[in-house]
């Protein structure tokens, strides 16, 4: 099958485990991986006019080491409500998805907007409390504040008019609330295997 594209779309809310699952699926099948949240994080972190920044985004912008912070996540979700920002980032994501050899993209709107024709769609979720606890283990601080930020970001991502976060009708839903990482990865690999 070398040379043919094969696209795996993985969506879900913050800290549900989709990044871990996306990396593991990509490694398992030898596919390229794009964490699309980094695009929005890079736009938010740069400051200035987000539409101009999104149109001029370069690979180097994705290398900044402060993109993983809670603040960068909040900034990302604020610029991500802008339809012109989203539009400016579509072509890059679709080109990545169609590369020969297979690609995994994880984000919020991959199965619904960016790659509605994806070969496999996964929707990875978990309860807000579980997701906040996982994030808190990484970043520390006050767990109640982390939970409030998780809920705030969910509300913004699910409530926006353009490309809101939701599971595609044909997505396989993986709820990781009570799953180990290994079990969640195994479920994802099995879902991809079933479509190959």
Residue with token string 């398992």:
28
User: Which CB atom, from 76 or from 184, has the smaller least distance to ligand C5P?
Assistant: 76
**Bridge partners of 169?**
none
Which of 33, 41, 121, 135 is in the footprint of ligand C5P by CB under 6 A?
Answer: 41
Considering the complex, what minimum distance in angstroms separates the CB of residue 3 from ligand C5P?
A: 27
Considering the complex, what minimum distance in angstroms separates the CB of residue 190 from ligand C5P?
A: 24
128-167 residues in contact with ligand C5P (CB under 6 A) are 153, 157
122 binds ligand C5P (CB under 6 A): no
Long-range contacts of 177-180 (CB under 8 A, 24+ apart): 177/125, 177/126, 177/127, 177/130
**93: which residues sit within 8 A by CB, 6+ positions away?**
34, 36, 39, 105, 107, 110, 114, 115
* Residues binding ligand C5P (CB under 6 A): 14, 36-37, 40-41, 73, 76-77, 80, 107-110, 153, 157
């Amino acid at each position: 099958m070398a040379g043919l594209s094969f696209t795996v779309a993985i969506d879900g809310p913050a800290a549900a485990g989709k990044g871990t699952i996306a990396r593991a699926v990509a490694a398992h099948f030898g596919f390229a991986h794009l964490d699309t949240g980094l695009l929005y994080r890079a736009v938010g972190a740069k400051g200035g006019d987000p539409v101009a920044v999104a149109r001029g985004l370069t690979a180097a912008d994705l290398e900044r080491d402060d993109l993983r912070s809670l603040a960068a996540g909040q900034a990302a979700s604020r610029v991500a409500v802008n339809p012109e920002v989203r539009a400016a980032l579509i072509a890059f994501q679709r080109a990545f998805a169609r590369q020969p050899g297979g690609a995994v993209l994880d984000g919020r709107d991959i199965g619904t907007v960016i790659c509605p024709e994806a070969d496999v769609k996964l929707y990875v979720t978990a309860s807000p409390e579980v997701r906040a606890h996982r994030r808190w283990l990484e970043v520390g601080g006050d767990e109640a504040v982390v939970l409030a930020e998780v809920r705030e970001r969910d509300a913004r991502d699910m409530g926006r008019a353009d490309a809101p976060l939701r599971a595609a009708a044909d997505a396989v839903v993986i709820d990781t609330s009570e799953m180990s990482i290994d079990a969640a990865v195994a479920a994802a690999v099995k879902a991809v295997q079933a479509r190959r």
